[in-house]
Amino acid sequence: MKRTIIDPSQLELNEKVVSIKRVTKVVKGGRNMRFTALVVVGDGNGHVGAGLGKAAEIPEAIRKGKEDAMKKLIEVKLDANNSITHDTTGKHTGASVLLKRSPEGTGVIAGGPARNVCELAGIKNIRTKSLGSNNKQNVVLATINALSQLKSPEEVARLRGKSVEEILG
């Protein structure tokens, strides 16, 4: 699948810090403390990305995480009622996330890390289930993996050589 590069300067991006961890490297002279920040950015209109920032100070780690997330923006295919176009599953290491399409009025039914990704992507109606590992970083990346696999009905129709009406039933 060919990945298109999205210019973040054209979008009005919001950010959410999913997790901040203090990590330690033990060296001969003692312990070196640093921070890692997992940041999700999105415009609430079908664009979302996640990034990891590492630095000696928390604000610097968040800034680096935001920059990394902007480099990794993906476009999410949404249908008329701001849900995903079809059910899908995403995997990243030990975490898998099941995303299910939902009718209008359902809302975002998702756990913390997956909820952040869905809300920043602009999804209003979705059901998710986190399977396997509950590590925040892996769940966020599995959710983004699932969203990147989505195809629009037009794309599916073109790939199958059918009309959009035949695909939608």
What is the mean pLDDT of each successive set of 10 residues along the chain, which is 169 residues long?
72 94 96 97 94 97 96 92 94 96 94 95 96 96 95 90 86
Q: pLDDT at position 164, please?
A: 87
Find residue 96's DSSP bridge partners: 91, 131
Query: What is the spatial distance between Cα 25 and Cα 38, in angstroms, rounded to a whole number?
Result: 19
Q: pLDDT at position 8, please?
A: 79
Greatest CA separation found in the chain?
Answer: 68
DSSP 149: T
Exposed e or buried b per residue across 50-73, where buried means at least 16 C-beta atoms within 10 angstroms of its C-beta: bbbbebeeeeebbbbbbebbbebb
List of residues 6+ apart from 15 with CB closer than 8 A: 39, 40, 41, 66, 69
The token pair at 77 is 């295919």
What are the sequence ranges of the domains in the chain? 8-74, 77-168
Q: pLDDT at position 3, please?
A: 65
Domain 8-74 CATH assignment equals 3.30.160.20: yes
Beta-carbon neighbour count of residue 20 at 10 Å? Answer: 15
The token pair at 6 is 């999205």
Q: Which fold, 77-168? A: Ribosomal Protein S5; domain 2 (3.30.230)
Please compute Rg for the chain using Cα positions: 18
CA distances from 30 to 22, 26, 54, 113, 152 (A): 16, 6, 20, 34, 54
| DSSP characters over 40-79 | EEE-SSSEEEEEEEEESSHHHHHHHHHHHHHHT-EE--B-
Q: Which amino acid is at 115?
A: R
Q: pLDDT at position 2, please?
A: 54
